[in-house]
Amino acid sequence: MAEKLADQPDKVAKTADVAETLANEPRAEFMFTDEQQQLLSAVRRFAAENVDETTVRRLMESDPPFDPKAWHRLGSELGVLGLSVSEADGGVGGTLVDQAVAVEELGAALACGPIFGTVYLAIPALVAASAGPARDELLAELVEGRRTAAFAVPDRAGAVDASLIEVTATPSGDDWTLTGTVRGVVDAGAADDLLVAAIGPDGVSLFAVDAAGAGVERTTQLTVDQTRPQAVVTLSAAPARLLAGSDEAERVIGHAFQVASALLAVEQVGAAQHMLDVAVQYAKERLQFGRPIGSFQAVKHRLADMMVDLEHARSTAYHAVWALTDGSDDPALAASIAQATCSAAFSRIAADAIQTLGGIGFTWEHQAHLYFKRAIVDAALLGSAEDHRSRVAELVLDTASAEKPPRVADGTRG
Amino acid sequence: MSNVADSDRVADLARVVVADHDPRSVPVTEFLGACYDAGLSWVHFPEGLGGLGLSRGNQAVADRILQGAGGPVPLGLNPMGYGMAAPTIREHALSDEVKKAWLRPLATTEDIWCQLFSEPGAGSDLAGLATSAVRDGDDWVINGQKVWTSLAHRARWGLLLARTNPDVPKHKGLTYFVVDMHSPGVETRPLRQLTGQAEFNEVYFTDARIPDAHRLGEVGNGWGVAMTTLMNERSALGGSGSRRGAGTISEAVSLWAARPERQTPVLRDRLTQLWLRSEAQRLTSERSRVSATVGGPGPEGSIGKLVGAELNQQIYQFCMDLLGPEGILYHGYSKPEGDREDSDWRGPIQQRHLRSRANTIEGGTSDVMRNILGERVLGLPGDLRADAGMPWKEIPRG
């Protein structure tokens, strides 16, 4: 089945046609196709067979902290690393909705691998960049899963801010060299390629740097989540190839941040769903006072509230994905709505799952802490819920008009 | 999934209705009657009963055109009629004759409907209700008291749940009827609420008679029929406008913009959180509408009811906190008699704030909603019930 999917680009292309037809209909949003249901099953099966909890625990303490062979299979066999990349660029020619469906399942399984750096950021950036030898070659390698990448570009809560860039680019003949430092680069430690934003003579440009090449130093930084490592990247006249010049780099980077915000939100939904499932299952089975703890309203109502938050998160995450797919909404606002909602929801659901599990949920042996830690890190990446709330406030409240100001003061009778 | 040919057909029919009966010039009843005759009242109903036999998703196609041309939102004019009575009648009325007799005047809003479920002794535990229905020839004789009945004073028909057998467990002894609110032995009295208004009523039945032909569903299956009504009620209460920023949150945002001198960063973040939750719920309603394209409303409707009720309270509380000293001024507690028909129930924002306390009680308390989500959606075990299996007449009451 998995092989079938990858081998049937025409079928996926048909999906894209249907999506396009439906895009004219307001109801197309949230309407999943049969092909997407098949994709979901295929990824779920792959995860069940290859990404069990024991594997996750082994890989998160390995170097590199993922299985390169399994990653390659995700790209080549399953074809889920570049689902929204056009066929001409070596992808499957689907939509970002397809990519989201796969991401949700990989998030639920807490799959180890450079999905944040490669799938959420690097591939969307390359897709948005103008074609050229460096970009085309790298994109094909990343989509196939033969190489992995990290996105060494600082963000201000998931948005471009050139003032944060501490790397300079110097032309040398037809090529460039980069010098400077980028902190907190997720997936950089094991990456083959680094996509680096640097300030050149004409402003911000985006470059590709061979991570194993000269002048590149990577210092791994431990984070609370062992499945999602990061590194400090120090470049000293490191040779670089231009991917996006100053005419388009900020647009390319901004697009990548928006896609990543939406896909990260979808990952949070997948992981939160898994935590809710674990907590609900436990509440049905765990007996205290001679009855399942899920029959107590204190426990039941907390689980119901978790479900409401999860459903809200799912709606906002997929809305952001659709907004980026068919332009039905301002992608910056949709991405911030999703990030504000999903970061809060996953954090709350992971914490409340531990509360539902009680003592066993606080042990190293139980899987809950792995998700709780992923929730902490995911909430901090690409801007916190609070950062995104601020942005929503700027976009919505600060522009609100009092066209129909409610006439309030009353009590004049007294 | 809605089929393109179906939605085109619905759109064509809606355009014809709008062209032949311009909602901006003809009376509301004529316009809504034309919608009914064209099958656009409930497109998923059978032809001849206000529908076209199509999937529910097509309703939005019709509503966009009908309301876009200035047509009314019928759910607002006859809420219990459109939201609850119509689906219950369609599914459970005993003959097409009574279905037709009820549905068209319901659709035109000539006949307003009300719901006679809650009683002083049966709120969340609705199945414990005590109003009795005793068979007498071709009629049923009704005695008892209902409460919290919106629109009873304007209603022509009421959806009544009554006990026909006190000797069996509570859920099994109920039967569902449609009662003529104008018939002898039915007395409606306004019930004054904490807002000072009386949008609800108490309804007393003293030997009121209902013909057996006005029973819905089988004798003893009233609970099953009531579930149809309640699921539709909750999904109607939860279904909000589909435009971003519409609904209660729009009042808070306008008030925010109108009171720059009262703005603080703390209030700004509170309002942003309320806006985000409103938006997340709006998108969730859209999503469940898409997935409910086939089939009726499911337990997911309870999410909208729960969230909408709590959001309403939180948003109006925010408005009061934004207003500060201004918010405690009040226009006074008018007498309920006389002004019920004409007054705007929603009133000034201070009154809406007071009114919002009812949101987490009416149509199923938030506590019950969380039980429903936990048990029907998540599949959690039910709580212990002290009255399980007990004949209704032996259950302690008080």
Partner residue opposite A30 with nearest CB, options B268, B290, B323: B290
pLDDT attached to residue B348: 85
In A, minimum Cα distance to B257 occurs at: A402
Taking the C-alpha atoms of residue A119 and residue A91, their distance in angstroms, rounded to an integer, is 12
pLDDT attached to residue B297: 54
Kindly state whether B139 is in contact with chain A, defined as any CB-CB distance less than 8 angstroms: no
What percentage of chain A exceeds 90 in pLDDT? Answer: 84
- β-bridge mates for residue A15, sequence order: none
How many inter-chain contacts (A to B, CB under 8 Å) are there?
Answer: 166
Taking the C-alpha atoms of residue A194 and residue A198, their distance in angstroms, rounded to an integer, is 12
In B, minimum Cα distance to A28 occurs at: B290
pLDDT attached to residue A410: 78
Backbone angles phi, psi at A408, to 5 degrees: -105, -60
Kindly state whether B256 is in contact with chain A, defined as any CB-CB distance less than 8 angstroms: yes
Residue A9 has pLDDT above 50, yes or no: no
Largest CA distance in chain A: 84
Task: Give contacts of A406 with chain B, Cβ < 8 Å.
Answer: 251, 254-255, 258, 349
Q: Pick from A85, A130, A99: which is nearest to A36 by CA?
A: A99
d(CA A125, nearest CA chain B) in Å:
28
Task: Give contacts of A408 with chain B, Cβ < 8 Å.
Answer: 255, 323, 326-327, 329, 348-350
Tokens, residue A267 = 């990952």
d(CA A288, nearest CA chain B) in Å:
13
d(CA B189, nearest CA chain A) in Å:
28
Kindly state whether B379 is in contact with chain A, defined as any CB-CB distance less than 8 angstroms: yes
DSSP state of A116: I
Report yes or no: B98 and B214 within 8 Å, Cβ to Cβ: yes
Task: Assign A289 a pLDDT band (cuts: 50, 70, 90).
Answer: very high
What pLDDT digit, counting tens, does each position of A199-234 carry?
A: 999 999 999 999 999 999 999 998 999 999 999 999
pLDDT attached to residue B246: 87
Task: Assign A26 a pLDDT band (cuts: 50, 70, 90).
Answer: very low
Partner residue opposite A304 with nearest CB, options B57, B283, B373: B373
Taking the C-alpha atoms of residue A354 and residue A409, their distance in angstroms, rounded to an integer, is 48
Q: Does domain B113-225 have CATH number 2.40.110.10?
A: yes
The stretches of A215-367 forming alpha helices (DSSP H) are: 249-285, 297-326, 331-357
Q: Pick from A360, A197, A388: which is nearest to A288 by CA?
A: A360
pLDDT attached to residue A403: 66
**What region does B213 belong to: left with phi over 0, alpha with psi -120 to 50, or beta?**
alpha
Q: Do domains B113-225 and B230-377 have the same CATH topology?
A: no
Partner residue opposite B371 with nearest CB, options A297, A392, A397: A297
Radius of gyration of chain A from its Cα atoms, rounded to whole angstroms: 22
pLDDT attached to residue A407: 76
Topology of the domain comprising A151-248:
Butyryl-CoA Dehydrogenase, subunit A; domain 2 (2.40.110)
Topology of the domain comprising A251-397:
Butyryl-CoA Dehydrogenase, subunit A; domain 3 (1.20.140)
Task: Give contacts of B383 with chain A, Cβ < 8 Å.
Answer: 295-297, 300
With CB atoms and an 8 Å threshold, state whether A304 touches B370. Answer: yes
With CB atoms and an 8 Å threshold, state whether B374 touches A303. Answer: yes
Question: What is the CATH code of the structural domain delimited by A2-148?
Answer: 1.10.540.10
Extents of the domains making up chain B:
4-72, 113-225, 230-377
pTM of the model: 0.88
d(CA B373, nearest CA chain A) in Å:
6
Burial class from Cβ neighbours inside 10 Å (0-12, 13-18, 19+) for residue A31 reads buried
Taking the C-alpha atoms of residue A61 and residue A65, their distance in angstroms, rounded to an integer, is 6
Question: Which regions of chain A carry the CATH code 1.10.540.10?
Answer: 2-148
**Number of helices and strands (H, E) in chain B?**
13, 8
Task: Give contacts of B60 with chain A, Cβ < 8 Å.
Answer: 26-27
In B, minimum Cα distance to A407 occurs at: B348
d(CA B81, nearest CA chain A) in Å:
27
Mutate to test the interface with A, among B254, B261, B267, B272 (most CBs of A within 10 A): B272
Give the position of tokens 């409610």. Answer: A406
Give the position of tokens 């393109």. Answer: B4
Task: Assign A401 a pLDDT band (cuts: 50, 70, 90).
Answer: confident
Partner residue opposite A316 with nearest CB, options B60, B283, B332: B283
Whether B233 is catalytic is yes
The mean predicted confidence, pLDDT, of chain A is 91
With CB atoms and an 8 Å threshold, state whether B349 touches A408. Answer: yes
pLDDT attached to residue A21: 38
Task: Assign A285 a pLDDT band (cuts: 50, 70, 90).
Answer: very high
Mutate to test the interface with B, among A30, A282, A284, A308 (most CBs of B within 10 A): A308
DSSP state of B392: G
Mutate to test the interface with A, among B283, B284, B302 (most CBs of A within 10 A): B283
Kindly state whether B230 is in contact with chain A, defined as any CB-CB distance less than 8 angstroms: no
* Number of residues that make up chain B: 398
With CB atoms and an 8 Å threshold, state whether A393 touches B348. Answer: no
Secondary structure of residue A111 in the 3-state scheme: coil
DSSP state of A241: E
Tokens, residue A299 = 């426990």
Secondary structure of residue A218 in the 3-state scheme: strand
With CB atoms and an 8 Å threshold, state whether B268 touches A393. Answer: yes
Q: Does domain B230-377 have CATH number 1.20.1600.10?
A: no
d(CA B208, nearest CA chain A) in Å:
40
CB interface of B with A, residues 284-313, below 8 Å: 284, 286-287, 289-291, 293, 300, 303, 306-307
CB interface of B with A, residues 336-355, below 8 Å: 348-350
Q: What is the pLDDT along chain B (398 residues), one digit of tens a residue?
A: 447 788 899 999 999 999 999 999 999 999 999 999 999 999 999 999 999 999 887 888 899 999 999 999 998 899 899 989 999 999 999 999 999 999 999 999 999 999 999 999 998 899 999 999 999 999 999 999 999 988 888 999 999 999 999 999 999 999 999 999 999 999 999 998 898 888 889 999 999 999 999 999 999 999 999 987 777 655 544 444 478 888 899 999 999 999 999 999 999 999 999 999 999 999 998 888 776 544 445 555 568 889 999 999 999 999 999 999 999 998 888 665 444 444 445 678 998 999 999 999 988 899 999 999 999 899 999 998 899 999 999 999 87
pLDDT attached to residue A327: 86
Partner residue opposite B331 with nearest CB, options A300, A311, A411: A411
Task: Give contacts of A311 with chain B, Cβ < 8 Å.
Answer: 284, 287, 300, 303
CA dist list (Å): B29 to A314, A358, B64, B104: 41, 59, 19, 10
Among B119, B199, B202, B233, the active-site one is B233
pLDDT attached to residue B298: 53
Q: Pick from B92, B364, B127: which is nearest to B223 by CA?
A: B127
Angle at alpha carbon of residue A175, lines to A172 and A177, rounded to 5°: 65
Question: Which regions of chain A carry the CATH code 1.20.140.10?
Answer: 251-397
pLDDT attached to residue B20: 95
pLDDT attached to residue B336: 52
pLDDT attached to residue B381: 97
d(CA A283, nearest CA chain B) in Å:
7
Give the position of tokens 């209030």. Answer: B267
pLDDT attached to residue A174: 82
